[in-house]
Structure formats: C-alpha cells, structure tokens
C-alpha cells in the first residue's frame, strides 16, 4: 500500500498535513500518536470511509483496486450491529457478503467463541464482543486489515488471546493497528507510523526508529515525544 501526500481538513482544522508512506505485506504496522494526532482519520481514509481533501491511497500492489472492499477487514472503535442477532447469525450474515470466506467453525474455534455462538451479541462482555468483531473483520480472508484501538479496555488475557489470533490470521496480511499501549506495539508490530498534530513524524521499521532515538523502549520514547500532548487532551 502506498499513501501519497494525504491531507484532510475539517473546516479550518488541518487533521492530516501531507502523510506519505509505503508498506507491503506481510507487515504489522503500529499507528501511534497522542489523542487528536490524526490516527483515526488516517485509518478511515485508508479504509475508504472518509475521502482525503487531497492525496491518494494506492492498493494496486496488494490487489485489484476495483475489488478493494472485498479484501479489507476492519474493526472500528465503536461497532453498531443488530441487537437482536446471535453471534452465529451475525457471522453468517457477514459471510454472505463475500465470495471467498473462512470456514465459520475454524474462526470460532481459533477465537474461542464457539461456546458463545448462540448468545446475543449485545449481551456479550467487552472482550468477547471484540473477539466476534475480529471474526467479522477476517471472515473474508482480507489482504489489508485496519484495527482502530482493538485492545482498549480489554483485560490482559483478552489482549493476549487477540494478539495470538492475529499472528495466525495475518501471516500474509498487511495489518494497520492503532494503539495507546506502546509495549504491545513494540512487541507485536515490525513497522510504525507515528503522527503528531496531523504531521508524520516517522514511517518505517520500529527498530530503526528506536535506533534513531537512542532508546530501545518505545514507551519511554513515546512519553518523551507525545506525553505533553496526551495530558493536554485528557478530558
């Protein structure tokens, strides 16, 4: 995937100020930055939910651009599904949207949701809902996946299970994942997009970025660069 000089304005606010990068599969790309740095806006432009004010995203290296939406998987920060649908019904509905899909039994077993397949989605715990969301995001065997803060609010075991499932499902996938947990970004991602006030601070290998910073702890680097901005955005 190639992003070419992506800019986005909301009235007089410049949310993104010319973002460019290139990544190829398989890669886990951590998208980080303080609250309001432009992470969600950038992800939504790459997903096709929003249009940039200028610039473009080129998917040609991954798949035929005309079939882009058939090969993208998404988890948003908030999801709205039919409240009266059971997990298995929701999975079958999403499966019907695509020509090529995973076997539902395989996905449910992998994500440990088989025992909950006849439960109503809106009655599930937050962690279990996120596992179902992951099944829905991967049901079409996507080539590019976007996960917007998927581990926020999850307990350590649920976060561990989610990452282990991603390691199985993303062997040939380009994954973009935004997170405020720097330790998991450093542990599981090999690439990094770092935004600050809508500008691109860095795009490339995490190890190279840490080498440039002279610090092998991404959490410490993040606090040094973005800590003040996070505090300003609290509340």
CA-CA distance, 125 to 151, in Å (whole number)? 13
What does the mean pLDDT of the chain come to?
89
Quote the pTM value.
Answer: 0.90
pLDDT tens, position by position, 121-155: 989 988 898 899 999 999 999 989 999 988 888 88
Could you say which of 1.10.287.3510, 3.40.640.10, 3.40.50.300, 3.40.960.10 is the CATH number of the domain covering 2-233? 3.40.50.300
pLDDT tens, position by position, 24-37: 999 999 999 998 99
pLDDT tens, position by position, 78-105: 766 777 899 999 999 999 999 899 999 9
Q: What pLDDT is stored for residue 37 in this prediction?
A: 94
Give the pLDDT band (50/70/90) at residue 114. Answer: very high
Q: What pLDDT is stored for residue 70 in this prediction?
A: 79
Give φ, ψ of 192 to 5 degrees. -145, 140
Q: What pLDDT is stored for residue 83 in this prediction?
A: 73
Between these two residues, 48 and 8, which has the higher pLDDT value?
A: 8
Sign, CA torsion 72/74/80/86: positive
CA-CA distance, 160 to 77, in Å (whole number)? 19
Give the pLDDT band (50/70/90) at residue 228. Answer: low
Q: What pLDDT is stored for residue 234 in this prediction?
A: 37
Residue 83: which residues within 8 A CB-CB, separation 6 or more? Answer: 120, 121, 122
Q: What pLDDT is stored for residue 65 in this prediction?
A: 46
CA angle, residues 220, 149, 106, in degrees to nearest 5: 125
For residues 201-228, average pLDDT: 93
Between these two residues, 17 and 84, which has the higher pLDDT value?
A: 17
Task: List the one residue out of 47, 51, 58, 39 whose CA is nearest residue 9.
Answer: 51
Query: Over 70: is that where the pLDDT of 199 sits?
Result: yes
Q: What pLDDT is stored for residue 235 in this prediction?
A: 33
């Amino acid at each position: 995937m190639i992003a070419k000089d992506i800019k986005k304005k909301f009235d007089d606010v410049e949310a993104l100020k010319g973002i460019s990068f290139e990544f190829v599969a398989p890669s886990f790309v951590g998208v980080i930055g303080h609250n309001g740095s432009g992470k969600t806006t950038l992800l939504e432009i790459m997903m096709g939910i929003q249009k940039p004010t200028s610039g473009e995203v080129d998917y040609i290296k991954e798949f035929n651009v005309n079939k882009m939406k058939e090969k993208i998987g998404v988890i948003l920060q908030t999801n709205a599904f039919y409240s009266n649908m059971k997990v298995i019904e929701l999975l079958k509905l999403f499966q019907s949207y695509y020509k090529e899909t995973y076997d539902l039994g395989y996905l449910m077993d992998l994500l440990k949701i088989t025992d909950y397949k006849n439960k109503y989605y809106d009655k599930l715990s937050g962690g279990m809902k996120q596992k179902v969301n992951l099944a829905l995001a991967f049901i079409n065997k996507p080539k590019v996946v976007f996960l917007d803060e998927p581990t926020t609010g999850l307990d350590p075991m649920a976060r561990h299970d989610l990452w282990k499932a991603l390691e199985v499902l993303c062997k040939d996938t380009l994954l973009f994942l935004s997170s405020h947990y720097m330790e998991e970004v450093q542990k599981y991602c090999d690439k990094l997009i770092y935004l600050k006030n809508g500008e691109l601070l860095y795009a490339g290998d995490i190890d190279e970025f840490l080498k440039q910073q002279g610090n092998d702890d991404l959490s410490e680097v993040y606090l040094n660069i973005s800590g003040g901005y996070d505090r300003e955005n609290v509340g």
